[in-house]
Chain A
């Protein structure tokens, strides 16, 4: 199994030295993100997030299936992550690395367990038919901070997604094509965002946001906080690593809140831009046509 290429001793020493002098390799401030870009695809439910040289793509699809027997009133919601060798030669297909397991667990906890998507709304006929919403996450290029990027992509894709409209008359369930009825958005409760903190130094006293791959390899420990703009923590994961003072973790939480709000605003803005772009020929044109008659 190919291992991740490890940085040399010189790089290790230099990066830590530079951080102690308050400098980052790419000249960013410690709490500054790299250039973040979010694009939506032509279809509903495709989000492409670029964070510096890291790039992730999330795609949402929906189909009608039978619900799980033990949960007849809930729809099915799954997130699958794929870290292919395209992102880094250290990843192999069908053999999940530790990075992949932690990433999918984290998305699961952040988005699924925090009830960001109302799964009860996906139920069509209790115990018989429900929507199965599936998010496929592909990492196209890996230059650190996969988690923040992936989480944003998943949330953005889900909020962008529209599922076909349905109606029930008696026992018959009708699924309408987009031409018949405008597809409907998912019933979305809140948008969580992941913020990853990387710690450096003997005592973990230096704290970085949005670490690059090299910085990630050299950190002594990390802490991932997921929260929404209402200040609700959905998940905290500081999985081992050098112990960090409790006080600085609380500082992280408040820093994460500020950052989470920023991301939330960005996402809202991008979604609004996208719907504006789509509306040009769509609903507005339709409405005006009706008025003419």
Chain B
């Protein structure tokens, strides 16, 4: 179903009434699952994901035979599994375990987080992150990355900075080579179908790019504008995540829910 992007030029408003640099409504919670080491729930518009982190825990499988520990890297593994619920999108689609798109998502998230987390503090162990997609409405990879960041903070695993992600697109399709193409941020499903877009994850408020994924055709000259818009949007997302964490922390202090043991959950070896 073609999306009528022509109205954008008139009112500078997108199909859902947002301006170009406006994020959708964000809603986040942490420590949603009592049984997990860390957990989070994140909504970016109608994209809803849940994340559960367990670990770092000693890996039992890693005996004599296996081991990335065998040479060189004496750091924890980050194992990510993404489950997309059958009811998450409009048409019910069954995605198998071997789906290459899901595997690619998992690898991307795992590699991005592994370079951000201080995995060397946990030799011979595994941090397992399981992500559940409850509802899809665009910016899926971005939502997954943001949710895992929240859950990892909840789990108390030391990291360099927030790893935050957002999508950015460009109005007008690849064929038209007009200079007036405006970048858009945080695309929904309808816009993703129609416009070229990329997903970018940055480290906190810096311009350092951990993940950059683009799957649609777009002019090279358009790239810079889109990346700049995405970087700005990432800063907005970072502020939001920070706020979620701080509010939760504040609440825990005022309610006195911080038990004696909780603050000692991680012991960094001296």
Contact = CB atoms under 8 A, between A and B. Distances in A.
B215 A243 contact: no
B71 A243 contact: no
Interface string B76-116: 00000000000000000000000011011001111111111
Interface in A39-69: none
Given A236-B213, A239-B108, A257 B66 contact: no
B111 A6 contact: no
A257 B222 CA distance: 13
A233 B207 contact: no
A49 B78 CA distance: 35
Contacts of A34: none
B30 interface: no
B227 interface: yes
B209 A249 contact: yes
B187 interface: no
Given A246-B207, A246-B227, A249-B209, A6 B115 contact: no
Nearest to B207: A246
A14 to B, nearest CB: 14
A277 interface: no
A231 interface: yes
A6 B72 contact: yes
A23 to B, nearest CB: 22
A233 B218 contact: yes
Given A233-B214, A234-B217, A235-B214, A249 B111 contact: no
B223 interface: yes
Interface string A230-255: 01111111111111111101100110
A221 B198 CA distance: 18
B111 A241 contact: yes
B108 A233 contact: no
B219 interface: yes
A240 B221 contact: no
B142 to A, nearest CB: 14
Given A101-B100, A241-B210, A244-B208, A257 B72 contact: no
Given A6-B70, A6-B72, A105-B101, A240 B209 contact: no
Given A105-B104, A113-B215, A242 B220 contact: no
17 contacts: A3-B68, A101-B107, A105-B100, A105-B104, A109-B215, A221-B111, A223-B212, A232-B174, A232-B218, A235-B214, A240-B112, A240-B114, A240-B211, A245-B207, A246-B227, A247-B207, A257-B220
Given A105-B103, A239-B107, A249-B212, 19 more contacts: A3-B68, A101-B104, A101-B107, A108-B100, A220-B115, A231-B220, A232-B218, A232-B220, A233-B223, A235-B214, A236-B198, A237-B214, A238-B213, A239-B108, A239-B213, A240-B115, A245-B208, A246-B207, A246-B227
Interface of B: 66, 68, 70-72, 100-101, 103-104, 107-116, 174, 198, 202-203, 206-221, 223-224, 227-228, 231
